[in-house]
Structure 1
Amino acid sequence: MADKKDKDKTRRGESVIGQIDRTLVPDKAIALWHLGQEGMAFKAAGIIGYIDPYLSNYIDDEFGNSPRQFETPLSPELIGHADLVLITHDHPDHLDPVSVRAIAIASPQATWICPAPVVSQLTGLGIAPDAVIGALAGQMIDFRDMRITPVAAKHEEFETDENGNHKYLGYVIELNGVTLYHAGDTIGYAGLLETLRPHRIDIACLPINGRDIKRYEANLMGNMNFREAADLGVGIGADLIVPMHYDLFAFNTENPAYFVDYVHRTYPYQKFKLFVPGERLIYYRDDEMKESGGGNGD
């Protein structure tokens, strides 16, 4: 029985991998899969990408007292189709050494993008230097038919290296006629709204777990809370808001019902999506609705 249980865990997520491979994404659309915490997979225009895949039990195994609240929906060893992997920063629930090594082996063709100060950590995990692009805030990166604009993130504080390069980033991804902003870990800060508005964001993926003194003293850097995330998403004109970073660790989470209640009462016309682990969403951009301030996130 133990062997069967171990095999089932090793093979976890074959159905998700199969769905990603089979999904046909039309023009002006993108397919998204939620992987827990801030992990996402996306597919459009023949590109399959992953963002911050934490797909192991590394944190609990390494530090203890950090069990996952649900099993990973996808074992990283199964990811043999990745064209691109984006890492927002080097905290282990975003840059997971176990997942990075496994994906690097399974997808040797993948390009990796991370903050410039983090490049050495990826190459130290066995990724070839010529497969890694060091991202700088505000400097656009072209990847095939995709345009990626790194945006500085303030994870309680801005943190930079000796060259002034930001260690925490979010990414504005323009692909197949859809613009997605994955914030990484950040709080709101002066200038963020103005930076994002010109991109005309369709989908804003934003952390909602907040921050407090107790977590800060435990070296857990904080993020926007549910109100701040909703206000930012509405402020930048996002068609669809996707809350993140509320579900995986009991010691650093939030009740997403607070987000739902706040949006329902404060912004009754704002669309949002709560995912369950491994769930797919196919988002279609409706240009007519976009021009009039609405859209279609179904």
Structure 2
Amino acid sequence: MSAGDVITLPGLHVETFNTSLSDRLLDPCSGPRSGEVTLHWLGQAGFVIEFDRFRMLIDPYLSDSLAEKYQGTKFPHTRMMAAPILPDELDRLDLVLCTHRHTDHMDPGTLQPLARRFPQARFAVPAAVVDEAVKRSGVGIDRLIAVNAGDRAEVLDRCFVSPIASAHETLDRDSNGNYPWLGYVIDAGGVRLYHSGDCIPYPGLEEAVAAHAPHVALLPVNGRDAQRSGNGVPGNFTLDEAVALARNGDARTMIAHHYGLFDFNTVSSDAIDRRIALEKANGFEMFRAQQGHGWRFR
């Protein structure tokens, strides 16, 4: 795709642009029209989601916190791609959603600047990790929306979040029955996005997702192996597993993400593109998250 191209599907438009993401978000013409949701990738598992007059971020990692923490170790967490936008380049923000406590999903170096810049913004987090979320975001508990699998929370006007338990790589619960790893079905005016967070397949997941019939599934595809798991890096769906979940979970389309940030924990873009071509030939549309691309859903 080149700049200006638009792919049209039932209810979906994919746009490319040459401007920076900060310029794109400042442009009122690029925002969602009535009844639309727009989406932009932040790298790793992060996205900007806009609906009506609201702007949400999910799992934003816009700092170098992990590179600073792991410098000189086996997995130094050096960025392969720069953050497409910095917290102080955003002009507005209403909500941040974090699927779990790992730093590339709940990053103090991102959340704290956002919390200071946007004092009215709130943070939706798993109820199992509320204490950690307070530390990492730097906000009081009054600014947190604590959720658990099976809930349905109205997080903004006409925008609901329904969490689904995730297994990263195990399906865990705390003593209160709360799941520390979550995925979120975000229902923004009837447009449903499913973001799994970090997850691997487990019995019942496909049925739980299918019950919401998401218009789009945002799924990680970096996989897992013994070396990573044995060194404290729990994994995610393989590309095959992500596609199977999207298809069997009754998603209309899928966007593959969670690749291209850390060299020890990724999959090649060529492999994703080959799978996209195969699925298209078999009647299922999927996309690879890319900087400089935006999606419109209606």
When normalised by structure 2's length, the TM-score is 0.87
Which of residues 173, 177, 190 in structure 2 aligns to 1:160? 173
Letter in 2 for 1:283: F
User: Which of 93, 110, 115 is the aligned partner of 2:104?
Assistant: 93
**Does the Cα contact within 8 Å between 2:125 and 2:144 map onto a contact in 1?**
yes
Q: Structure 1 residue 237: deviation in Å? A: 2.0
Of residues 98, 102, 105 in structure 1, which corresponds to 2:113? 102
Could you tell me how far apart the structure 2 residues matched to 1:224 and 1:14 are?
31
Given the alignment of the two structures, is residue 26 of structure 1 paired with residue 33 of structure 2, yes or no? yes
* 1:105-144 matched pairs, under 5 angstroms: 105-124=116-135, 125-143=137-155, 144=157
Please name the residue that 1:198 is paired with: 211
Cα deviation digits, residues 222-266 of structure 1 (max 9, x gap):
110000001111112211200011111001001133233234335
Shift in Å at residue 68 of structure 1?
0.4
Aligned match of 1:4: none
CA contact (8 A) 1:197 1:236 kept: yes
User: How far apart are residue 160 of structure 1 and its match?
Assistant: 2.2
Asked whether the equivalents of residues 146 and 175 of structure 1 are also in contact (C-alpha less than 8 Å), the reply is: yes
* Contact 1:45–1:145, Cα closer than 8 Å, also in 2: no
Which residue does the alignment assign to 1:226?
239
Deviations 1:6-36 (A, max 9, x none): xxxxxx85324414x5533223421001000
Per-residue CA deviations over 1:70-122 (Å, capped at 9, x if unaligned) read: 11101112334111100000111111110010100111111110101221122
Gaps of 5+ in 2: 1-19
What secondary structure does 1:220 align onto?
A: coil
Q: Which residue of 2 aligns with 1:170?
A: 183
Q: Match of 1:34, as an amino acid?
A: W
In structure 2, C-alpha distance between the alignment counterparts of 1:187 and 1:59, rounded to whole Å: 23
Distance in 2, Cα, partners of 1:140 & 1:186? 20
Contact 2:279 2:285 survives alignment (8 Å): no
Kept in 2, the 8 Å contact 1:86–1:112? The answer is yes
CA distance in 2 between counterparts of 1:181 and 1:262 reads 20
Q: Deviations over 1:261-293 (max 9, x none)?
A: 234335621111223225322223xxxxxxxxx
Q: Does 1:63 align with 2:70?
A: yes
Structure 1: 5+ residue stretches without partners: 1-11, 285-298
User: Of residues 40, 48, 51 in structure 2, which corresponds to 1:41?
Assistant: 48
The alignment covers a number of residue pairs equal to 272
Over the matched positions of the two proteins, sequence identity in percent amounts to: 32
Q: Tell me if structure 1 keeps the 8 A contact 2:279–2:286.
A: no
User: Is the Cα–Cα contact under 8 Å of residues 230 and 263 in structure 1 kept in the other structure?
Assistant: no
Aligned-partner residue type, residue 222 of structure 1: G
Where 1:273 maps in the other structure, the secondary structure is: strand
One-letter code of the match for 1:194? E
Match of 1:260 in 2: 273
**Match of 2:260, SS?**
coil
- Looking at structure 2, the residues matched to 273 and 265 of structure 1 have their Cα atoms a distance apart, in angstroms, of 12
For the residues of structure 2 that align with 1:13 and 1:26, how far apart are their CA atoms? 18
Query: Which residue number corresponds to residue 288 of structure 2?
Result: 274
In the superposition, the TM-score normalised over structure 1's length comes to: 0.87
Q: Report the secondary structure of 1:103's partner residue.
A: helix
